[in-house]
Structure 1
Amino acid sequence: MKAPPRLQSLIEEGLIDTVVRQLMSGKEAMVYVVRCGDETRCAKIYKEATQRSFRQAVDYTENRRVKNSRQARAMAKGTKFGRQAQEAAWQSAEVDALYRLAAAGVRVPQPHNFHDGVLLMELVTDAHGDAAPRLNDVSFTPEAARAHHATLLVEVVRMLGAGVVHGDLSEFNILLGHVDGADGPVIIDLPQAVDAAGNNHAQRMLLRDVANLRDFFGQFAPELLATSHGPEIWDLYQRGMLDTDVALTGHFARPQGAVDLGGVLREIGDAQAEEQARRLRMQSAA
């Protein structure tokens, strides 16, 4: 097929030989199957901020690293340069997360290059070499559902051990593929990943990620709906006891005591700050 304009520079640089076909178009990017020498890979083209349905909420971008204080100030003020810097940080977040998680042994696509807003990475396939399906396109027996759920909990724990919370984990961004010689779930779509220790919303996002897994696989194995792995995982993480060898029970007794009024007020403050930032972005765009 004819190469999209955003991939032309990669062809000129010799990073891509040919574009085979479009694989998918999502809320944040378009993905193409490409040939690079003897290998078939995928090229993820990030959509411009105005074209994405997934917005850069303050929750996700909090404490993200930028190159220098000038960029940080510009991003805070919402200037044109700041918006460009924020866009670059948003795109590079997935690249950074993929390299970190791949090094930690998490089942994610292997990244190969990042050039002009395009991420080149491994094409996740099934055992037959076809593009791997997403979990939401597959039905499972109760036994398979329990097995994949358990596998993904280990991956979530391994991610947390690497200091990363996915932030948008669900059946729509997990593939059932063949990676490193083994079949099983492969986690994708990480531009919204957050630093577990540096983001005040990390706990809430982790709990939501784990709840999404429970709710999806609970359709096939209803007993999973009664589990509470998220709070258990976060509690172990906070106490420095989280490890992939720890046997999770799926049960968590919440401590009884007075309501953490300070925590509630902080959540309210976070929501107010996000709304203020949203209004500033709207004013800047006007």
Structure 2
Amino acid sequence: MLLRRGRLTDRERERLASRREAREDELYAPPLPDGADRWSTWGEGDLGPEPRPEWLVVADGAVDSRLGVVKTGKEADVHLVERWIPAEDGASVAASCLLAEKIYRSNEHRNFHRDAAYVDGRRTRESRMDRAVANRTRFGLKIIADQWAVAEFAALGALWAAGAPVPYPVQRVGTELLLEFIGDADGSAAPRLAALRPDPDELADLWGQLCAALQIVARAGYTHGDLSPWNVLVHEGRLVLIDLPQIVDLTANPRGDEYLTRDVRNVATWFAARGLPDGERRTEELLTTLRYEARLV
């Protein structure tokens, strides 16, 4: 067995301190109410922007219950979580909200297609970490997972504050994101745009919503990076953009305009196939508008 010599790095000290705190929390925490999986993690990690939505449960004494899997993927799994406050009688719920818990798989991020192109413009403050990312070492893959989570949470916060139709980012702890659940109160997730067969009026309305949403994103300096009808939800007629870990900084990434063009054409093709008239003209007009909003021209 090899013994490590020398001083601990700041990262190692933080990791040890976090483990000690976790053990102490487990030792002194009161028993969980029936049906709860853990005490609420509110207050840990990064928190979403203010003002916070009224529906969000932030009280001390709240608990989290995992209700099931929303979806699984190569890079992350999404679970449905209920955050709730037990009533004083111990047998009912005083308040609750539904959240989407997105957990990145750090050891499987090598499956993130063309991730090297997406992380252009994303750099750490340490050359050792940058080398690990470039060489895709095990440590580098862990850093990439952290970068995806950090990038998505930060982008969601900025876009939500700017008025874009995205889920409210509740908090980030490591590679776990807690986000606003887009769906019904019974836990049914909103359908993806790809699954819809809208009539002409609904189609035109959704196109208008998409154009407005992408203008807000471009004005903030971004494009989605992997936009398609599969990562756009529609809940009660409202369009919502999701899955933004690969969000592209249009200024920092040298291929920014390429990703912007691809994003627009991916969704415009779906709208044209559903019968939206003048598809090519609308696509070019939208691209021109987005480049102007992003100050690329």
Q: TM-score, normalised by structure 1?
A: 0.72
1:26 paired with 2:73, answer yes
Q: 2:40 aligns with which of 14, 18, 40?
A: 14
Tell whether the 8 Å contact from 1:153 to 1:210 is kept in structure 2 after alignment: no
User: What one-letter code is carried by the residue in structure 1 that aligns with 2:203?
Assistant: A
- C-alpha distance in 2, partners of 1:68/1:13? 35
Q: Is the 8 A contact 1:66 1:89 kept in 2?
A: no
> Quick one: structure 1 residues 27 and 229, their matched pair in 2 at CA, closer, same or farther if it must change by over 3 Å?
farther
Equivalent residue number for residue 216 of structure 2:
158
Contact 1:203 1:234 in 2 (8 A): no
Deviations 1:9-51 (A, max 9, x none): 9954533521111111134221111111211111112134537
Contact 2:194 2:229 in 1 (8 A): yes
Q: Which moved further from structure 2: 96-105 or 61-70?
A: 61-70
Are 1:41 and 2:99 an aligned pair? yes
Instruction: Provide the C-alpha distance between the structure 1 equivalents of 2:110 and 2:140, rounded to a whole number of angstroms.
Output: 18
Deviating 4+ runs (over 4 angstroms):
9-13, 126-129, 238-241
The answer to whether the aligner puts 1:54 opposite 2:112 as a matched pair is: yes
Rounded to whole Å, the distance in 1 between the matches of 2:197 and 2:184 is 15
Distance 1:127 1:120 in 2: 17
- Identity of paired residues, percent? 32
* Residue 147 (structure 1) aligns with: 205
State TM-score, norm by structure 2.
0.69
5 Å matches for 1:157-176? Answer: 157-176=215-234
Q: Distance in 1 between matches of 2:241 and 2:231?
A: 6
Equivalent residue in structure 2 for 1:214, among 268, 271, 282: 268
Unaligned residue ranges in structure 1 (runs of 5+)? 1-8, 242-286
Q: Which moved more, 1:88-97 or 1:64-73?
A: 64-73
Aligned pairs, how many?
Answer: 229
Amino acid at match of 1:14: S
Aligned to 1:272: none
Distance (Å, rounded) in 2 between the aligned partners of 1:123 and 1:34: 9
Structure of greater Rg: 2
Q: 1:42 to 1:239 in 2, by over 3 A?
A: closer
Mark the runs of 5 or more structure 2 residues left unpaired by the alignment.
1-25, 27-35, 42-62, 85-95
Determine if contact 1:214/1:224 at 8 Å carries over to the other structure. no
Query: Alpha carbons of 1:65 and 1:177: their partners in 2 closer, same or farther (altered >3 Å)?
Result: farther
Partner of 2:149: 91
Seen in structure 2, the aligned counterparts of structure 1 residues 193 and 25 have a Cα distance that, compared at 3 Å, is same
One-letter code aligned to 1:24: K
> For residue 229 of structure 2, what is the amino acid of its counterpart?
E
Looking at secondary structure, tell me which structure has more helix per residue.
1
